[in-house]
Amino acid sequence: MSQVWKSQFHASLIERNRAEANSFLALVRSHEQILRDCLEIKQQNNQLKKQNKEQKEQLEKLNQQIEGHLSTGASVQITSQRVRELEDKIFSLQEELTSSLRSKADTSQQILDLTNEVQNLKQQLKEKQSEIAANTKLTQTVEDKNKVIQVMREESEAIRIEIKQANETASKLQEENKAFVQRIIEQKQRQYQNRQTLDSNNSEFLMLDPLDSNLGAPTIRPPVEIHHDISLDTQINDIDFSEDNQYIALAANDKSIKVYYTKSGQLHSSFFGCADSVVCVAFSPNNQMLLGGSADHACRLWSMGNARAKHTLTGHTKQVYAADFAGDNKAVTGSYDRTIKVWELNQGTCIKTMLNAKSKVHDLEVGKNNSTLFSAHFDSCIRMFDLRSYDLVREITKAHESQVTSINISRDDLYLVTCGRDSVCKVWDARRSYEPVHVLSHPDYKVNMETNKVTFSPCGSYVASGSVNGQVFVWKLKNAHDDELDSTLKGHKGLVTCVSWSPDGSVVASASVDKRVIMYQ
């Protein structure tokens, strides 16, 4: 490319030199010839002057000889003849000199005329060069304008294409909106039918008196003493017990899940594979699988048998803050991207993305019948979904004065307990009224985490939740709207991040920002 450019540039210079120099070539050559003639005439003139001087000297010598030989007549005759010859020669030389001077004058006049003509031609050349420069500048301006016009044409074409695409998108969105409105109408109709069915079922359901129900006398007393105190190198974000009480799983900030033996407090195994902190963890009902949601926008399924990841469940666009099993072969995850996804675990594929979550999901839990899903949200709402139709069947707005951080279901599916950033825990009737039957608080109980956990005891008679001051508060539930603070479990030196109660009710485990896990018994 560089060689081609040089060749083109050289050819352009030759063409320009030919166009600008050839018109003056004859004049320059004529001027050079005149200069050569002038130099030749000058040389002839100098030679004639020299000859004239020599002749004059000879003449003077002859005159002297004549004056010395006037005595003889023959000498006088010879001298006179010689003088005439010399005079003729001098005359001839003078004529030649005159002719040479006249020729020199003519040559000088020609040189002067040619010089004037050269000056005129130089002036014309200068004017031509000015015109060429102006034309070049004008040509460049025209080229620039053409480029601008081309760019404007391209931009106009791009705008036309964008307008066409926007119109197509608008038409598509209108069609999707019509379909979406139709789906909403159908969903509302199904919700209405579901409510009618629920109300019909609830009217036939015999509500037990709180004293005789799940909130009656406790079957197991809450733990009060420290059984194990495990120090770690990382913070724990969530805790879950296996259904057989044998293991306790810890979701850690160091991108791992650590599983300990509940009885001995010794490490069983660690599970790796996440690219960011593990935020939530859950055991499968058969204790064979472990589910962990991460801040890397994915959820992973591990086998307890070999501690290897079986599936990586990808599809969320933000942190996965909640995960739970819906039976042994299905899982549900909730994310900060405001969606809830349902997964088939044999293949590790998403079978449903529920866009009706509406808000960031802080926590979720599947009912014991695996057909109902309860979720806690950033917008202070509690939502209930039917996992068979994936419809939103119930929404409790302003469940707390601030964000709902956690949700837990009693083992008989009759009650919910929630924790809020308003530093209040609430127990809800999950079958009929969907109203709070207990509001639990204490002056020293403070919550300042978006995922602060709360849990029922297995018998449903106690509620436990961690506080900023490093204590775990345990409330005793009596009759409806009758409750009291039963105890506070101490041992941590920093904010309590999560609390979990073992299925047999014998152990309460808590984790803190002090990088310790304490199991009370």
Q: What is the pLDDT of residues 279-301, one digit of tens each?
A: 999 999 999 999 999 999 999 99
Q: For the residues 461-469, what does the mean pLDDT come to? A: 96
Four-residue CA torsion sign, 478, 483, 486, 487: positive
Q: For the residues 378-401, what does the mean pLDDT come to? A: 94
Q: Residue 29 burial by CB count (10 A; 0-12/13-18/19+): exposed, middle or buried?
A: exposed
Q: What is the C-alpha R_g of the chain?
A: 56
Q: What pLDDT is attached to residue 68? A: 64
Whether 256 and 232 have beta carbons less than 8 Å apart is answered as no
Q: What pLDDT is attached to residue 347? A: 92
145 has a pLDDT exceeding 90: no
In which band, very low, low, confident or very high, does the pLDDT at 217 lie, cut at 50, 70 and 90?
Answer: very low
Q: How far apart are CA 286 and CA 300, in angstroms?
A: 17
In the numeric block, which tokens belong to residue 45?
């003139």
Q: Are strands 226-231 and 516-520 parallel, antiparallel or unpaired?
A: antiparallel
Q: What pLDDT is attached to residue 211? A: 37
53 has a pLDDT exceeding 50: yes
Q: How far apart are CA 16 and CA 341, in angstroms?
A: 76
End-to-end CA distance of the chain: 84
Amino acid at 153: R
> Reduced to 3 states, what is the DSSP secondary structure of residue 187?
helix
What is the secondary structure of 477-490 as a DSSP string?
E-STT-EEEEEEE-
208 has a pLDDT exceeding 50: no
Q: Which residues does 75 contact at the CB level (< 8 Å), separation at least 6?
A: 66, 69
Q: How far apart are CA 326 and CA 370, in angstroms?
A: 5
Q: For the residues 412-440, what does the mean pLDDT come to? A: 94
252 has a pLDDT exceeding 80: yes
In which band, very low, low, confident or very high, does the pLDDT at 14 lie, cut at 50, 70 and 90?
Answer: confident
Amino acid at 22: N
Q: What pLDDT is attached to residue 67? A: 66
In this prediction the pTM is 0.60
In the numeric block, which tokens belong to residue 88?
């003729």
Q: Are strands 472-477 and 349-354 parallel, antiparallel or unpaired?
A: unpaired
Q: What pLDDT is attached to residue 407? A: 97
517 has a pLDDT exceeding 90: yes
Better-predicted residue by pLDDT, 46 or 329: 329
How many percent of the chain have pLDDT more than 70?
90
Average pLDDT, the chain: 86
137 has a pLDDT exceeding 80: yes
* Phi, then psi, of 258 in degrees rounded to 5: -110, 130
In which band, very low, low, confident or very high, does the pLDDT at 42 lie, cut at 50, 70 and 90?
Answer: confident
pLDDT digits (tens, 9 = 90+) for 179-203: 878 878 877 777 777 766 666 555 4
3-state helix, strand, coil in the chain (%, to 5): 40, 30, 30
Q: Are strands 257-261 and 320-325 parallel, antiparallel or unpaired?
A: unpaired
Number of CB atoms found within 10 A of residue 193's CB: 11
Domain residues of the chain, as ranges?
13-160, 235-398
CA-CA-CA-CA dihedral for 259, 235, 497, 383, to nearest 10: -70
Q: For the residues 426-440, what does the mean pLDDT come to? A: 93
Q: What pLDDT is attached to residue 47? A: 83
Q: What pLDDT is attached to residue 156? A: 82
Amino acid at 472: V
Q: What pLDDT is attached to residue 91? A: 80
Q: What pLDDT is attached to residue 200? A: 59
401 has a pLDDT exceeding 90: yes
Of the candidate ranges 16-20, 198-202, 233-237, 371-375, the one whose mean pLDDT is the lowest: 198-202
Query: What CATH number is given for 235-398 in this structure?
Result: 2.130.10.10
